[in-house]
Structure 1
Amino acid sequence: EVFGEAVRQRATAILVAHNHPSGNLEPSIEDKDVTRRLKQAGDILGIKVLDHLIFSEEGYLSMLEGNLF
């Protein structure tokens, strides 16, 4: 599902983003695992995952900028 439209549009890269309604911007273990798996899937498809962003009312966290990517 994450890559469906990117494949249809022949994209070479995507950004992944989701929200944390709790306001806590710290990525969970699941966030980190999903990011790792999405990067692996993207490598197989030839679609680079540029970053994974987490948004909340407090702001955002870039997993790339935070060296969590």
Structure 2
Amino acid sequence: MKLLAPHVRYLKQEEFRVLLLNSNKRLIRHQRVSLGSLDAALVHPREVFRPALTAGATSLILVHNHPSGYPTPSEQDIALTEQLYMGGKIVSIEVTDHIIIGFSDHVSLKDQKQM
């Protein structure tokens, strides 16, 4: 998370980004897909998968910040991850992780076994 944490860690609103990966799990690019409010970012699956399809990505990592500074996943975070994971199966793009960035650390939903 060295790539994105410095840019989103202290934002006053949620920012949702995707890391687009090739078949070797190498970064193609990262892209912001939503800029939200103090405690939510409206994210639609088409906005997540459109850049991945355009870039020829085979997998992606979801990343967003929590302006509160605490990276603990909310119920909405977990539900969104499930929705996007299933959407990825439909378009053959693997959602490999969802990382939430706080002020001093981050949480991987994959590592937390929440996806």
Q: TM class by shorter-chain length?
A: over 0.9
Specify the alignment match of 2:5 in structure 1: none
Q: How many residues were matched structurally?
A: 69
**Runs of at least 5 residues in structure 1 that lack an aligned partner in the other structure:** none
Residues in 2 aligned to 1:49 and 1:41: alpha-carbon distance in whole angstroms: 9
Residues in 1 aligned to 2:96 and 2:109: alpha-carbon distance in whole angstroms: 10
Structure 1 residue 44 displacement after superposition: 0.0
Residues in 1 aligned to 2:111 and 2:75: alpha-carbon distance in whole angstroms: 18
Residues in 2 aligned to 1:22 and 1:58: alpha-carbon distance in whole angstroms: 11
Q: How does 1:1-69 map onto structure 2 within 5 Å?
A: 1-69=47-115
Residues in 2 aligned to 1:15 and 1:64: alpha-carbon distance in whole angstroms: 10
**Runs of at least 5 residues in structure 2 that lack an aligned partner in the other structure:** 1-46
Indicate the SS of the match to 1:4. Answer: helix
**Higher helix fraction (1 or 2):** 1
TM-score by length of 1: 0.95
Runs of 4+ aligned residues of structure 1 deviating over 6 Å after TM superposition are none
TM-score by length of 2: 0.58
| 1:18-60 Cα shifts (integer Å, max 9, x gaps) | 0001012211110000000000100000000000000011210
Contact kept, 8 Å, 2:59 with 2:95, in 1: the verdict is yes
Structure 1 residue 10 displacement after superposition: 1.6
Indicate the SS of the match to 2:71. Answer: coil
Residues in 1 aligned to 2:56 and 2:86: alpha-carbon distance in whole angstroms: 18
Identity of aligned residues (%): 36
Structure with higher RCO (Cα < 8 A, 6+ apart):
1
